[in-house]
């Protein structure tokens, strides 16, 4: 018997006697789901939502892995120059790199809400306008941050860092100023493409940039012998390759969403700034927390070993983190698109499926770390002392893998729904009301040292 149609779609009432059929029809054709009433419904929703989520998350994860790989491979090359160089570049990454990265990424994440919901509502032409507004705000922010980058060494000395590390880290930070401006173009462009689920191109661009970055690291460090200056040059080139390639793709292949530069980008900037700041606060409180941890570590006994071992542990957890950043972006897109289309139940089911799968991935990564705890540090350093220090921290790294598997998903849901301010308050209390005071107390009043600092990341 033919299924009656209303407006070209099956209705819930007409199809309700076959719930599995409803799930498939509603999920695959873009409508909202009816309530789940059987195990078959659960299986159907799991299949549909898993497919949708991973089609978005897969390329995003690959792209973030490539982007994160630029940091990781830089640490590998620099780590084989010397322990001081590794610690200095780690401080530069963790303090100034994290500060600026978190601020610009957070402000750019406002587009996940605006572009995602605009795309879901069919207002595709607004995506280009929103992106241009974000570029203006982020480029202005970069200009305001120039004095901080220019005085990086003095800032680190005031914060109590060891002079050798502070001087080299400050020099490296100033050399990475061009990368900061590339981020201002890169992050809004990524959100523009993610809102339309055009994530494959970002994966290709990220892969090419990673290969180019590794080649440049070898050329500048191993062949030319430029040391940490060569690492900074490689960063600048690879960052601008990504930013310019994404812009060219937007201009050539996204003509419905990108209609050219417009004066409308200067209209209603203040409301956009407020949402960008709320998004930045939510993201920055998370990322800047790790910056604070690295600063505290630099004031412990034997800061070179303390910072180096913690940097390797953070680097490893970061590789797991890229998976969850990709899932964060994917669930943000799914929630924003479905809410923009008026499908709240679909958004709820997508969240439930994503949380369950993220938790499983967290346990998997923990098992891998525990099995390789005495060996993985050799990738980053030849120092036996550094390798032993990392092995001593490995069990805490494993715990971190599990605990950090859920939070990015919840943050992605908040961004997709436009609830950044609420998450910002929660992060503020958890990180700075509980985590840092407890870490200060245990780190300086007990003999645990870097071990308790690493536990603070949990």
Q: Find all residues with CB under 8 Å of 81, minimum gap 6, and list them.
A: 221, 227, 228
Please answer whether residues 365 and 401 qualify as being in contact, where contact means their C-beta atoms are separated by less than 8 angstroms. Answer: yes
- CB neighbours of residue 368 within 10 Å: 14
The whole-angstrom separation of Cα 197 and Cα 451 is 41
pLDDT attached to residue 27? 46
Domain boundaries along the sequence of the chain: 40-456
pLDDT at 59 over 70: yes
The whole-angstrom separation of Cα 339 and Cα 85 is 48
pLDDT attached to residue 424? 66
pLDDT at 249 over 60: yes
Residue 183: pLDDT band with limits 50, 70, 90: very high
Least confident of 19-33, 61-75, 375-389: 19-33
Sign of CA dihedral 222, 307, 65, 126: negative
Residue with tokens 């290969």: 211
Best mean pLDDT range from 22-36, 126-140, 394-408:
126-140
Best mean pLDDT range from 36-45, 153-162, 204-213, 407-416:
204-213
Please, what is the end-to-end C-alpha distance for the chain in angstroms? 57
> What does pLDDT average to over the chain?
77
pLDDT at 178 over 90: yes
pLDDT at 142 over 90: yes
pLDDT attached to residue 336? 80
pTM for the whole structure: 0.67
Residue 381: pLDDT band with limits 50, 70, 90: confident
* Interval 148-162: pLDDT, tens: 888 989 988 887 778
Sign of CA dihedral 45, 47, 51, 54: positive
Which whole-number Å values give the CA distances from 58 to 182, 220, 327, 412, in the listed order? Answer: 24, 32, 8, 16
Helix or strand (DSSP H, E) at 177:
helix 177-195
Q: Which residue has the higher pLDDT, 14 or 305?
A: 305
Residue 323: pLDDT band with limits 50, 70, 90: confident
Taking only Cα atoms into account, the Rg of the chain, rounded to an integer number of angstroms, comes to 23
pLDDT at 9 over 80: no
Question: Shortest CA distance to 134 belongs to which of 198, 195, 189?
Answer: 189
pLDDT attached to residue 7? 34
- CB neighbours of residue 56 within 10 Å: 22
* Interval 387-410: pLDDT, tens: 777 777 777 777 777 877 887 788
pLDDT attached to residue 434? 67
């Amino acid at each position: 018997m033919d299924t009656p149609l209303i407006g070209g779609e099956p209705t819930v009432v007409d199809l309700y006697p076959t719930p599995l059929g409803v799930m498939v029809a509603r999920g695959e054709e873009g409508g909202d789901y009816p309530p789940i009433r059987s195990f078959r419904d659960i299986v159907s929703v799991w299949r549909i939502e898993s497919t949708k989520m991973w089609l978005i998350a897969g390329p995003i994860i690959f792209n973030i892995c490539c982007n994160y790989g630029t940091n990781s491979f830089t640490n590998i090359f620099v780590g084989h120059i010397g322990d001081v160089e590794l610690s200095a570049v780690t401080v530069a990454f963790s303090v100034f790199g994290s500060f600026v990265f978190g601020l610009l990424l957070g402000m750019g994440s406002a587009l996940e809400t605006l572009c995602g919901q605009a795309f879901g509502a069919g207002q595709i032409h607004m995506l280009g306008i929103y992106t241009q507004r974000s570029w203006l705000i982020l480029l202005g922010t970069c200009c305001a941050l120039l004095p901080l980058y220019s005085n990086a060494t003095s800032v680190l000395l005031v914060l109590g860092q060891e002079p050798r590390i502070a001087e080299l880290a400050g020099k490296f930070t100033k050399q990475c100023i061009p990368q900061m401006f590339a981020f201002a173009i890169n992050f809004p462009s990524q959100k523009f493409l993610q809102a339309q689920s055009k994530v494959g191109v970002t994966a290709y661009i990220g892969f090419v940039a990673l290969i180019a970055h590794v080649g440049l690291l070898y050329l500048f460090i191993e062949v030319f012998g430029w040391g940490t200056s060569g690492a900074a040059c490689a960063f600048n080139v690879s960052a601008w390759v990504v930013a310019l390639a994404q812009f060219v793709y937007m201009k050539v292949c996204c003509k419905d969403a990108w209609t050219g530069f417009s004066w409308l980008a200067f209209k209603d900037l203040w409301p956009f700034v407020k949402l960008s700041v709320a998004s930045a606060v939510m993201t920055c409180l998370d990322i800047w927390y790790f910056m604070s941890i690295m600063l505290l570590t630099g004031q412990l006994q034997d800061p070179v070993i303390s910072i180096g071992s913690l940097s390797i542990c953070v680097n490893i957890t970061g590789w797991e983190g890229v998976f969850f950043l990709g899932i964060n972006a994917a669930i943000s897109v799914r929630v924003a698109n479905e809410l923009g289309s008026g499908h709240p139940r679909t958004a709820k089911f997508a969240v439930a499926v994503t949380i369950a799968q993220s938790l499983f991935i967290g346990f998997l990564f923990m098992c891998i770390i525990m099995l390789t705890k005495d060996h993985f540090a050799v990738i980053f350093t030849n120092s036996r002392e550094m390798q032993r220090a990392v092995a001593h921290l490995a069990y805490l790294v494993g715990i971190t893998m599990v605990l950090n598997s859920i939070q990015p998903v919840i943050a992605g849901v908040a961004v997709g729904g436009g609830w950044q301010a609420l998450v910002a308050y929660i992060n503020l209390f958890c990180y700075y009301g509980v985590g840092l005071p407890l870490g200060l107390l245990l780190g300086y009043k007990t003999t645990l040292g870097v071990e308790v600092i690493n536990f603070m990341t949990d």
